[in-house]
Amino acid sequence: MSPVNQFRDLLQRPDVKRRLPRVAAIGGGLLLLVVAGFWVADKNRYQATDNAYVKADTVIISPQIEGTVARVLVDDNEPVQVGQVLVELDPAEVKSRVAEAEARLAALRAGARFANARAAAGRSQIVERQASIASAEAGARIAQSELTRYGRLAEGGWVATQRLQTVRAQADQAAAGVRQARASFDAQQREAAAMSAEGAQAAAAAQQAEAALTQARIDLDRTVIRAPVAGVVGARGVRAGQYVRQGANLMSVVPLGETYVVANFKETQVARMRIGQTVEIHADAFGSKRVRGRVDSFSPATGSEFALIPVENATGNFTKIVQRVPVKIAVDRSEPLAAALRPGLSIAVKVDLHSQGGATFAESATAGARVVQRPTAEAAE
């Protein structure tokens, strides 16, 4: 008789039938106890959630000037390195602006040199006017001494009155010459000041033109759009011959080697979590394979606080809703599948609460508050 038939006959025995419910109940109870034990042990050691997503600091590539696209040098999903040329804009218009700025700068520099030469000539004329004043004052002193001498002689009747009048006229003429020389000196000073102002204005205009030339050269350099980070090209929407404006979205560069995970744990789950604890990451795209990571940081607020329309709990009837706290998880770069994580993938994570770690959720928030308050206290002192 086969074992199956023997087992069937055993179950048909009256004594076995009477004991079967009791055995089944005991076995079921033991099974429940084992399952409950495993569940409690798992909940005591791990905190898990499937409300988690892969993120990356994706860089949107945009032109800093407007123009016509001459060439697109990358394709969709193509890896790029830092500084690699992605797009080239037609540089013809910008080159013309550079040439115009160079010509204007040359003209203004020539004008500044001419103005400086005039100012130098004006300063030389001031020295000449000072010498004229000294000469006129010397002549006036001689004329005045002659007038004094002839006046004494005229009192004694030694010279004619007409001669005295001639000497007095010469003295008056010498004094007028001094006043004229001084007026000419003042006029030359004002003219030299004006020439210096013109030179300063010309120099400022030349500096402005030099700045315009620098900007034109910067714009010429910006006609070549390069990758700011290493990554993979995605969402490429630019085509050759397309006219693009400043700030337009041309494509994105996703740094796949620098992805991280944001897991939204319930607020009832984060009490025993610590920064640095080990995390097991499971992505459906990888099948049964796992990726290791660690708790990097806790969000300063719950996810609802960053929503476009924050929840207002101060109105109406209140129902307590458990909030979600975003937790940033750093991926272990030594993992073979670390670079294969794509931003946007939904994943499941499990934090090992028995692994070593640093600050808890509450301690990290307290440390952040101290960091924020320290500059305020120092400023008050």
> How far is residue 318 CA from its own chain's centroid?
43
> Do 234 and 304 share a domain, yes or no?
no
Q: Kindly indicate the confidence band of residue 74, based on its pLDDT and cuts at 50, 70 and 90.
A: very high
pLDDT higher than threshold 80 for residue 115: no
Q: Which domain holds residue 136?
A: 93-221
| CATH number of the domain to which 77 belongs | 2.40.50.100
pLDDT higher than threshold 50 for residue 372: no
pLDDT higher than threshold 70 for residue 157: no
- Of residues 59 and 176, more confidently modeled: 59
> How far is residue 241 CA from its own chain's centroid?
30
Average pLDDT over residues 203-211: 88
| CATH number of the domain to which 146 belongs | 1.10.287.620
pLDDT in tens, 39-73: 665 567 889 999 999 999 899 999 999 999 999 99
pLDDT higher than threshold 50 for residue 350: yes
Q: Kindly indicate the confidence band of residue 37, based on its pLDDT and cuts at 50, 70 and 90.
A: low
Choose from 136-150, 301-315, 319-333 the range with maximum mean pLDDT: 319-333
Asked, for residue 34, whether it belongs to a domain, the answer is: no
Average pLDDT over residues 173-193: 77
- Which pLDDT score is estimated for 148? 76
Whether residue 48 contacts residue 350, with contact meaning beta carbons closer than 8 Å, is answered with yes
Q: Kindly indicate the confidence band of residue 371, based on its pLDDT and cuts at 50, 70 and 90.
A: very low
> Do 258 and 344 share a domain, yes or no?
yes
Query: At 227, is the secondary structure helix, strand, or coil?
Result: coil
The span from the CA of 150 to the CA of 101, in Å, is 72
Whether residue 331 contacts residue 270, with contact meaning beta carbons closer than 8 Å, is answered with no
> Do 140 and 210 share a domain, yes or no?
yes
**pTM beyond 0.85, yes or no:** no
What SS3 string covers 280-333? EEEEHHHCCCEEEEEEEEECCCCHHHHCCCCCCCCCCCCCCCCCEEEEEEEECC
- Which pLDDT score is estimated for 214? 92
Q: Do the bridges between strand 243-244 and strand 290-298 make them parallel or antiparallel, or are there none, so unpaired?
A: unpaired
Among 7-16, 28-37, 224-233, 274-283, the least confident range: 7-16
- Which pLDDT score is estimated for 239? 92
> Do 244 and 258 share a domain, yes or no?
no
> Do 265 and 239 share a domain, yes or no?
no
Q: Kindly indicate the confidence band of residue 368, based on its pLDDT and cuts at 50, 70 and 90.
A: low
Asked, for residue 21, whether it belongs to a domain, the answer is: no
**Tokens read off for 265:** 């744990």
Packing angle between helix 14-45 and helix 3-12, nearest 10 degrees? 110
- Which pLDDT score is estimated for 85? 94
**Domain tally, the chain:** 3
Place of tokens 């040439």: 99
The span from the CA of 335 to the CA of 343, in Å, is 17
Task: List Cα–Cα distances, 22 to 25, 232, 296, in angstroms.
Answer: 5, 64, 52
Q: Kindly indicate the confidence band of residue 15, based on its pLDDT and cuts at 50, 70 and 90.
A: low
Asked, for residue 147, whether it belongs to a domain, the answer is: yes
> How far is residue 74 CA from its own chain's centroid?
26
Q: What are phi and psi of 233, to 5 degrees?
A: -75, 135
Q: What share of the chain is helix, strand, coil (3-state, %, to 5)?
A: 50, 20, 25
Asked, for residue 11, whether it belongs to a domain, the answer is: no
Average pLDDT over residues 220-233: 93
Q: Do the bridges between strand 260-266 and strand 251-254 make them parallel or antiparallel, or are there none, so unpaired?
A: unpaired
- Which pLDDT score is estimated for 334? 87
Asked, for residue 42, whether it belongs to a domain, the answer is: no
Question: What percentage of the chain has pLDDT greater than the value 70?
Answer: 82
Q: Kindly indicate the confidence band of residue 261, based on its pLDDT and cuts at 50, 70 and 90.
A: very high
- Which pLDDT score is estimated for 86? 95
